[in-house]
């Protein structure tokens, strides 16, 4: 078994108090190890999303990982399912699979910071800067984008990484899904909660439309915040984190 896979699964078993023989995933781990070196520059870290049979998204799960969720978290919303239902259905396709998550971004309010540190004065420090420029995101930050420019960024990124064979077979780059962000942040990266602003995440509905969310922290080490993004003006205030997920 690969060293990273052993470390991740051990931590997950400890966090969720699982037996040693609980099946978390059945990945072909070698393909992720082969791409790890090529993605090192982009700070992509591989993680196992526990299988539903081992870690179901039930009341205990949400109590543990969303302890400071909004009061209407489990209540149906005016134009769609509750946040809890959206997270449950959106997360299903990743359960029992391996995902890659960008680890470095840190953001300051009001679009003052470029990338990665509490100061972030250098616009060339972002490893995705070239892709952002090719997608027309000319200000060099993870802010001031909209749906169309971010969609173009993801298209350019996937096209290039496929051409360079950096993506594992059957995977695509996207914005980090909300429940994946919550899981990886809670178990492996509580320091992400120190970020002063919110991040963008999304799932697709049954019709293939992107339903976008602002996600983040309500307390140190907590990643319970979630709110649907309903207006394009809100997009520019949200940073984003790249993830590699199964298609």
111 dihedral zone (left: phi>0; alpha: psi -120 to 50; beta): left
Count how many Cα atoms sit within 13 Å of the Cα of residue 155 in the half-sphere of its side chain: 9
Spatial separation of the C-alpha atoms in residues 176 and 17, rounded to whole Å: 26
Nearest alpha-carbon partner for 99 in 194, 52, 155, 167: 167
- The pLDDT assigned to 67 comes to 96
Residue 187, CA distances (Å) to 49, 52, 182, 205 in order:
11, 17, 8, 27
Note down the domain range covering 199: 3-246
pLDDT tens-place string over residues 68-85: 999 999 999 887 889 999
- The pTM of the full predicted model, rounded to 2 decimals, is 0.91
Percent of the chain's residues with pLDDT above 70: 88
pLDDT tens-place string over residues 211-246: 899 999 999 999 999 999 977 777 777 888 999 999
Nearest alpha-carbon partner for 178 in 211, 132, 143: 211
Q: What is the mean pLDDT of residues 24-40?
A: 70
Nearest alpha-carbon partner for 102 in 2, 174, 5: 174
Nearest alpha-carbon partner for 177 in 136, 153, 210, 135: 210
Q: What total number of domains does the chain contain?
A: 1
More confident residue, 173 or 119: 173
């Amino acid at each position: 078994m690969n060293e990273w896979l052993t470390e991740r699964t051990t931590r997950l078993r400890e966090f969720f108090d699982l037996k040693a023989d609980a099946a978390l995933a059945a990945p072909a781990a070698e393909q992720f190890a082969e791409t790890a070196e090529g993605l090192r520059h982009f700070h992509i870290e591989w993680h196992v999303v526990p299988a539903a049979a081992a870690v179901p998204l039930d009341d205990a799960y949400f109590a543990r990982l969303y302890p400071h969720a909004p009061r209407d978290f489990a209540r149906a919303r005016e134009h769609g399912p509750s946040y809890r239902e959206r997270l449950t259905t959106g997360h299903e396709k990743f359960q029992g699979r391996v995902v890659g998550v960008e680890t470095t971004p840190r953001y300051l309010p009001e679009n003052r910071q470029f990338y990665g540190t509490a100061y972030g004065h250098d616009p060339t420090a972002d490893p995705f800067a070239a892709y952002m420029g090719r997608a027309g995101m000319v200000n060099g930050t993870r802010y001031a984008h909209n749906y169309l420019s971010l969609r173009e960024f993801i298209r350019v990124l996937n096209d290039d990484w496929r051409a360079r064979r950096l993506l594992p077979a059957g995977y695509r780059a996207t914005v980090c899904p909300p429940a994946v962000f919550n899981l990886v942040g809670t178990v492996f990266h509580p320091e992400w909660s120190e970020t002063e602003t919110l991040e963008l995440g999304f799932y697709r509905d049954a019709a293939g439309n992107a339903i976008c969310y602002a996600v983040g922290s309500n307390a140190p080490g907590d990643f319970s915040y979630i709110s649907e993004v309903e207006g394009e003006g809100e997009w520019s205030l949200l940073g984003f984190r790249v993830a590699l997920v199964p298609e």
